[in-house]
Each structure stands twice: as structure tokens, then as C-alpha cells.
Amino acid sequence: MSEGANQNAKMKLETGLIHLGDEFNTTSAVAPPIWQTSTYLAPEDPAAFSELAASINPTEFYSRHGNPTNAQVQAIIASLEHAEAALVTASGMGAVSAAVFASVKAGEHVVTQKILYAASMILFRDLLPKYGVEVTFVEATDTAAFEKAIRPNTKLIYLETPVNPLMTLTDLKAVSALAKKRGITTICDNTFASPINQRPIDLGIDVVIHSATKFLGGHSDLTAGAICGTKEFVKAAWRMMIIFGSSLASFDSWLLLRGLRTLSLRMERINANAIALADYLVSHPNIETVHFPFLKTHPQLSLAKSQMLGPSGMMSFEVRGESEEEKFDNAQSLLKKLRFPKNAVSLGGVETLIVHPASMWRYHYTPEQRKASGIGLGLIRLSVGIEHIDDLIGDFREAL
């Protein structure tokens, strides 16, 4: 290991968020510059240029292939996830698509969960079968179901935990163990937890992906994705990314770099706020159920504590009502009355965001699929921000 690598290994997380990847800033600027160029001058030596053109994720060749800011961001995210390497993409779905298509081809089989982020579900349910990839869907909480679904041609197990929007957990260590003994690649979407609260690679998972739009960026002002894994896997995913055209632009990359610097501070406040708000909501008479793995009454609390370092800011809850229609009306009323949580899609920002999943995914799921997924008309998803907890609880107290 080089001296620089040794120093990086000794660096605390909070320090690494500020200083990792500094070598990619070749200027004297304290704040890394935005490399606002689409192309770079070729080396004078034709052989050197040919080598550069064939290289993986070069920092100065053509911006679809990579740039210095991307390289710095990738160094930080790889360190956060305890991965050999990382790759940033133009969106979370850019990361999902590149990682999945780097893992499977026609004639092969995938096992994944019955409930996934809506766009990921469309990829597995509707798109992959068109390209000759079979997909089996199982309960996220049932490790035995994953094992039972495995076939001789299974090449990928794809996971999302906590699961959007019900926050159920998959046992990462157990599923990764059954995959490893069969040579099956495992991918985990770690967006909802963030690497501050969960590191799937430490639990045996091969590849971690993020919608970096969310907690990693943290300010609702960029769109980005990330893939973390071995150098070999990241190389394969990079090839997919440049063909799909899902490269991250330099400005969004710079915004992501800026957001990462406060990630640990933001998550510390978000975690504390989420615990306090969940405790308040679960005791309120107008709330029927709260889905938050770190509640003392949650059936997966033991698993949550064993594989997560903290709760993250994601939860969902169901308002009371005598019927589904009344629950829908009560949910819509609550959304309108709340002052601080903003009714908007996405999550992971400094502001608290709230959304009605059944409305958001109306065209992605049939009513039957929605009900089977546990997404009732009274369900509300909440992404807790960094506001003062007294203001958040007070706002919910008035609105409820």
C-alpha cells in the first residue's frame, strides 16, 4: 500500500469528506473548480493519445468519459462505502441501469424484491424481459424465498433496503452469503440509508448504488447517481454508462462534491430528528401505523440494529380512517395543513419532504399491484430534514 493510501486509510470519515481526492484538484484553488469543458487537448505523442482514448474513466480526455471533479467525488464515495472504486452517473437510474446491464445478459436470471422504487420496478418487470433476462420477485424480508428462487442461470440478486416506501429490511448478510457460495453478484440500492447509516459491502454485498440526488447531494439542487464496487465491476459499469450516455455533468458533479462535505453533519441531525418524530407519530391517535425500523415496536428492530449504524431520515405512516376513501381524504388534508414539510417528490434534502405514494405511483402500479405492495390510500412517506425538531413536531401536532 502506498504512503498516500495509508494516510487515507487512517483518515476519519468527517476528514475524508473534506480532503479525499484533493490530488485531482490540480489548481491552487481551495474550493475545487468546475471543469466546464467538454473536451481536453490531446497529448502530442500519438501513442499516448491512443492509450488515453482506450483508458477507463480518464480525467482529461472527453467529459462523457470523465473529468477531474468526477474523479474527486468518486474517491470520496468509494471511501464512504468501503469500496475499491466508484463511478458517478447523471442520475440514480443511470447508476441502476449501468450496474444491472453490467451484471446480466440475455438467457440469464435475476432475483429481486416484490417492492422496489417505481422506476427500478419498471426496469425489472417490463424492460429486462424484453432483452431475454428473466426476473423473479420475492418478499424482501424472506431470505428463504431468495434462496428458493435461485436457478442455475441466476446471475444477479438485486436488493433495496430499507425498501421504498414501507421501510422493510432485507437481511444483507444472509442474502449475500447464499449468493456468494453460488457465484451470484449482489447489488444493493443504499439510497435510503446513506453510507453514514449502512455499508452493505461490509455485510458481503458486491455492489452498492445510490441516487446521489438524495442524501449524498443533500440540497435538492442536483441529479446524480453512484456505483461502488471492485475496480473490475466499476470498469464494466463505466462501459455501460458511456454507451447509455448517462455521464455526470461537471456542474452537478461540483454540487455533489460540495454536498458531500457536510454529509456526516446533516445525517447526525436527520437521524436524531427522525427518531424523535417517529416516536411522536406512533403515539398519536390519528396515526394508525408508523413504518420506521428503529421504533421499539418494529418487528425488524433487531435486524435494523445489527446491519444499520443509524436509522436515516426515511419513514412512512398511515393516517386513520373508517375506509380507504376516508384515509385518502385525511392524508390529503394533512399534506395541505403542514407548514414545514414540503409536498414534493424525492428525498434526502436539508428540508423535510412529504409525499403521497399512491398518487405518485398511480401510473406505475395497477390498483391491485399497489394494494399487494401495501401502499394504501392513507400512506404518507416522509423524508426528515435538519429543521429544529420542536418546529417539526409542533407542525405535525397542529396539522393532525
Contact predicate 76/260, CB 8 Å: yes
Classify strands 342-343 and 185-189 as parallel, antiparallel or unpaired: unpaired
Helix H or strand E segment including 333: helix 324-337
Q: Cell numbers 404518507 correspond to what residue?
A: 380
Selected catalytic residue, list 158, 171, 206, 214: 214
**Could you confirm whether 158 is annotated as catalytic?**
no
User: Active-site residue among 40, 62, 64, 125?
Assistant: 64
* Cα 263 to the center of its chain, rounded Å: 14
Whether 117 is a known active-site residue: answer yes
* Residue of 155, 158, 171, 189 marked active site: 189
Establish whether the linkage from the previous residue to 32 is cis, with ω within 30° of 0. no
- 3-class DSSP string for the chain: CCHHHHHHHHCCHHHHHHHCCHHHCCCCCCCCCCCCCCECCCCCCHHHHHHHHCCCCCCCCECCCCCHHHHHHHHHHHHHCCCCEEEEECCHHHHHHHHHHCCCCCCCEEEEECCCCHHHHHHHHHHHHHHCCEEEEECCCCHHHHHHHCCCCEEEEEEECCCCCCCCCCCHHHHHHHHHCCCCEEEEECCCCCCCCCCHHHHCCCEEEEECCCCCCCCCCCCCEEEEECHHHHHHHHHHHHHHCCECCHHHHHHHHHHHCCHHHHHHHHHHHHHHHHHHHHCCCCEEEEECCCCCCCCCHHHHHHHCCCCCCEEEEEECCCCHHHHHHHHHHHHHHCCCCEECCCCCCCCCEEECHHHHCCCCCCHHHHHHCCCCCCEEEEECCCCCHHHHHHHHHHHC
| Active site members | 64, 117, 189, 214
